[in-house]
A and B are shown apart, each in its own frame.
Chain A
Amino acid sequence: MQLLWNGLIDAGGLLVNRDALVLNAAWRSLWISATAVACAALLGIALGSLLARRKIFARSLLVLLLRAGMGLPTVLIGLVGFSLLSRRGPLGGLELLYTPTAIILGEFCLAVPIIATWTHSAIRQLDPRVAETALTLGAGKLRRWRTYLSETRLSILLALLTAFARCISELGIAIILGGNIPYRSQTLTTAIATETARGQFARGVAMSLILLAIALLVTLTVAWLSRVKEPS
C-alpha cells in the first residue's frame, strides 16, 4: 500500500513537471486510437447498416461472426497482424511492423466488429414506421439510410465511444505490432507494462492515472448519452 501511495505522489510530480515520456505515450495512444476508431466507423457503420437492411447471402453467419469478433483477444489480432506484416509475411514489403500504423491497423480490426454489431442492432431495433415513413414520403436509398443513422445516432455514438475505450486500453496489439519503442510506437499501456517491470513505478502510476482519466471521461460520456437517450 505504501508503494502505491509513494507511486501516486511521485506520479503527481511527473504529471506536474510534464514528463516527456509520459506525455509522449499519452498523446500517441490518443491519436492512434482515435484514428483507428474513425477508420473503423466508416466500415463498421456501413457494414452494420447493410446487414440490418439488406437480405444478403449468409447474413446471419456474418452477424454471428461480428458478434464473436467483439470478444476477440487482442493478442490474437496482434499475432495475425504480426504474421502478415513481418518481413516474411505477405505485407512485409510495406515495412509497417513496429510503427504506429501497424497498431492502427490492429485496433481497426478490434473496433470494426464493435461498431458494426451495435449499428446493426440499433437499426434492426428501429421502429418499422421509420422505414415506412421515409419510403412513403419518397426518400431514396441514400436518404433512407441517412434517416436510419439519424434515428440511431446516439446508439452509434455509444458504439464509437465503446470502441475507443477498448482500443485505448488494449495491450496485445500495441505490444506485438507496435514493438513498444519509446518516442516511436510506445503507447500508454505498453509503457505502463515496461516502466513497472523496470522498477519505474511512479511513471507507471502516472500513465495509469492518465489512462484512468480517459476511461472515466469516456464512461461518463457514455452514461450521460444513455441518460439523454432514455426519455425519447
Chain B
Amino acid sequence: MKGRRLYLDGVSVVFDGFRALNNLALIVEPGELRAVIGPNGAGKTTMMDVITGKTRPTEGVVSFGDADLTRLDEAAIANLGIGRKFQKPTVFDALTVFENLELALKAPRGPLPCLRWALTGEAKSRIGATLREIGLEERAQDPAAILSHGQRQWLEIGMLLMQDPDLLLVDEPVAGMTDAETEHTARLLAGIAGRRSVVVVEHDLDFVRALNCRVTVLAEGSLLSEGSIDHVQKDERVIEVYLGR
C-alpha cells in the first residue's frame, strides 16, 4: 500500500465559466513533504477539493498510485489512504477528545463493524500514543467543544494520524495560532513527513521556510513556479504575483 505517488495532470475546474484551476500539473512522490503557496484565489483549496473528491474536475487526470481519484467519492478516497485537514478545524464537539480519535482510528467503517466494535488494548495504546504526540493527554475525557483553537487544530492532526494515511493534505495548519502553537505544529508535521507524503497549503512564508521542503507556487489556477523556497522567492513571476502588478 505504501509508496504511491500523487499525480495531477491537465486538471481544470470550471465554475460557471470561472476557471478555479487551469491545466494544473503536480506530482508528489511517496514520502515527500511539499508546500503549496499562492495568493488568495490561486486555487489551493480547490486543488485539495479535487484530490479528496469534494469537487470533480472538469477535465484532467488525478490519480494516486493506480487509483483514478476522479471516479471515487470522499469516503472511498479517504479509505485509499488520503487524509485531509481543513483550514477551519472540524472536530466532533459532542464527543470527547478520546472518542474523536477513536472514530478516526483505521478500522472497518460499516455500520455493523461499528456496532460490534470493542476497544482493544492495541487500539487503546495507539490512541494513547497519539494523545501524547499531540499533547492532549490531559484532555482525553473532555468534550472537544471546550478545546482552544490551537488544541482543536492538533486534535484534527491527531485524527489524521489515527487514519494512518499515506498522503496527508493539510490546509493552513497554523492560521490563527500563537507562536508557541505554530512551533509545536511545525514539529508535529516534520515528525509526520518521511513516514508518508504530506502536502501543506500555507500563507505564512516563515512557516514554509521552516518546513525546508520543495515549494509549489500556484497562481490563477495554474502552476507558476516550483523548487526550493530560495528558488521560488527569486523567481520574477512569483515576485510579480505576490508584490503587485
Instruction: Check if A and B associate.
Output: no
Residues of B bordering A, CB below 8 Å: none
